[in-house]
Amino acid sequence: MGVPRRRGAGVSAVLGTVIGLLVFFTIVIPMWIYMQQLQTMYMDSVNRRLIFEAEKLRERLDTSLTLTSSADSPGQYQPILNITNNSPIETTVQAIYIESTINGVLRVSEDPIILAPGERAVRRLNYQLHPNEVIRVRLATARGNSFTSPYEIGPKKLPYLLMISLTNLSVSSVYRVRVAAEGDGCVLPSSSESNLDYCRAELWVARYVEVRDLGSSVGRIGREEVFVFNVAPGRYSIMAEVMRNDGSWGTIIPLYARSVVVDSHVLLRFNVTQYSWPLILRITNPTPRLIVFNTTNARTALFNLSFVLTYDSVVPGPTLNVTVKIEPVVFTCNAPLEVSLSRLNPGDSASATFICEVPYDPPRTYQYILHIPEQGIEVAGGFSIDLTDPRTVLTTTGYIDVCLLRRVTLIGSLSVTTSTTTIDLPGPDDAEIPVVSVETMETTMQALECPEGG
């Protein structure tokens, strides 16, 4: 006989299996799914944070802070902020703060500024500067970055230098340069140490420039003079003038032709070539030269022929090199037939000499011409020259009188004396012979034969 089987053993095994499956599907699998979801959420959060940090690192804002000064309201200065988004992502400026040396830190913005990549925004900040105040601007972005203006600025402290160089100056005179803001901007004289000097929208700086000895540069390039301004960022127009001899001003850099954007230190060099300067030059020769031959002289005579060149100082003028030429008529002069007078300044007089030779042909008058050719006046390249003044004499005619010196002997008196002389002759008798003695008084005189009118 076999052992009888219990009826509940199979049911228990089935129930245990069912319970195990229920635990697996209701607890283990949901728990695993939940853990996977937590892992995914964590990784998403990490990725978002990494992306945020990467974007934060790539965020770049360039700021430029300038001032505007109204001609209608002198002494009032308003800051102008230029913001440029130089990053490849969109950036939001949440707040703008001013850090003031007088008022501390102040928030001056209400609404956020959203800037696309490469976009620029200009904001007139609602703030009035005190004349002795200095400020700096700080920006706060939505990603937590902070950007500060690279410099401090105030009515007495501007960040950049604008240097205006005038080259080829060849006239001693007063020069002045004008810098004016085209829109927003402010100008301050760089050399000013006065507490009363504040920046303004327009500024003239005048200076007397002494141009004396240009040395080897005469004829090619003149003196260079630099005018320096302190400026705020912005666009500026430039003009330069020179004072004429009558006190009026001549424009050498027209206002409409020169404009510059200042966002760093700037040097501008202008070649001054637009103005024609009056000159007064006079060439003179001494009284007619007298050459005397006598009957024993050689057939030619050498002599020195001099002249004087005067550079009138009635008006200021450039340093000059002048070439004077001689044109002899009939007679000859030793080469060269021109002489150069170097580095003449207003008020100077200079002289020079030609060595010439005239033939024996008295009495006669010889003629010569001294002249300064137009191309014989060299001036530094800054100005052209104007020789239309009626006091200017560039050509003169001279004369040489050749005379003959003769010697003439005159008899002033004649004395005749008669006497006898006894001569012993052979023989008893002597002979008497009459003797006549003649005494004369002679006078030698010199006669000078010259040309008519000489």
Single-letter code of the amino acid located at 53 = E
Burial tier of 98 (Cβ tally within 10 Å: 0-12, 13-18, 19+): buried
- The answer for residues whose C-beta is within 8 angstroms of residue 443's C-beta and 6 or more apart is 409, 410, 411, 412
Q: Please report the pLDDT score of residue 419 as a whole number.
A: 60
Exposure b/e, 356-376, CB count within 10 A at least 16 = b: bebeeebebebebebebeeeb
Q: Which residue ranges of the chain lie beneath pLDDT 70?
A: 1-11, 70-74, 191-196, 212-222, 254-258, 273-275, 286-298, 315-316, 380-383, 406-449, 452-454
Q: Collapsing DSSP states into helix, strand and coil, what is residue 21? A: helix
- Name the residue ranges covered by the structural domains of the chain: 61-148, 160-273, 281-404, 406-448
Q: Please report the pLDDT score of residue 333 as a whole number.
A: 86
CB distance 310 to 205 below 8 Å: no
CATH topology of domain 61-148: Immunoglobulin-like (2.60.40)
Give the other-Cβ count within 10 Å of 195's Cβ.
9
DSSP 98-139: EEETTTEEEE---S-EEE-TT-EEEEE-S--B-TT--EEEEE
Single-letter code of the amino acid located at 247 = G
CB distance 80 to 210 below 8 Å: no
Q: Is 281-404 in CATH node 2.60.40.10?
A: yes
Q: Please report the pLDDT score of residue 255 as a whole number.
A: 58
**How far is residue 266's CA from residue 244's CA, in Å, rounded to a whole number?**
29
Residue whose structure tokens are 């001609």: 71
Q: How far is CA 261 from the centre of its chain?
A: 20
**How far is residue 181's CA from residue 75's CA, in Å, rounded to a whole number?**
16
**How far is residue 274's CA from residue 382's CA, in Å, rounded to a whole number?**
8
- The answer for residues whose C-beta is within 8 angstroms of residue 222's C-beta and 6 or more apart is 167, 168, 169, 170, 211, 214, 272, 318, 380, 381, 382
Q: Please report the pLDDT score of residue 233 as a whole number.
A: 93
Single-letter code of the amino acid located at 152 = E
CB distance 392 to 310 below 8 Å: no
The CA–CA distances, whole Å, from 73 to 34, 61, 100, 216 equal 70, 32, 22, 52
Q: Would you give the end-to-end CA distance of the chain in angstroms?
A: 188
Assigned token pair, 144: 């937590």
**How far is residue 159's CA from residue 82's CA, in Å, rounded to a whole number?**
15
Residue whose structure tokens are 């390039």: 221
Assigned token pair, 86: 């130089």
CATH, range 160-273: 2.60.40
**How far is residue 277's CA from residue 268's CA, in Å, rounded to a whole number?**
24
Entry pTM: 0.61
Q: Please report the pLDDT score of residue 443 as a whole number.
A: 53
Please tell me the total number of residues recorded for the chain in this structure: 454
Percent helix, strand and coil across the chain, each rounded to 5? 15, 55, 35
Q: Collapsing DSSP states into helix, strand and coil, what is residue 55? A: helix
Single-letter code of the amino acid located at 452 = E
**How far is residue 319's CA from residue 347's CA, in Å, rounded to a whole number?**
11
What one-character DSSP code corresponds to residue 16?
H
Q: Please report the pLDDT score of residue 212 as a whole number.
A: 65
**How far is residue 71's CA from residue 348's CA, in Å, rounded to a whole number?**
47
Positive/negative CA dihedral, 283, 286, 287, 290: negative
For residue 336, is the peptide bond before it cis, meaning its omega torsion is within 30 degrees of 0? yes
Strands 289-294 and 395-424: parallel
CB distance 219 to 378 below 8 Å: yes
Instruction: Tell me if 61-148 shares its fold with 160-273.
Output: yes
Q: Please report the pLDDT score of residue 374 as a whole number.
A: 75
**How far is residue 365's CA from residue 290's CA, in Å, rounded to a whole number?**
9
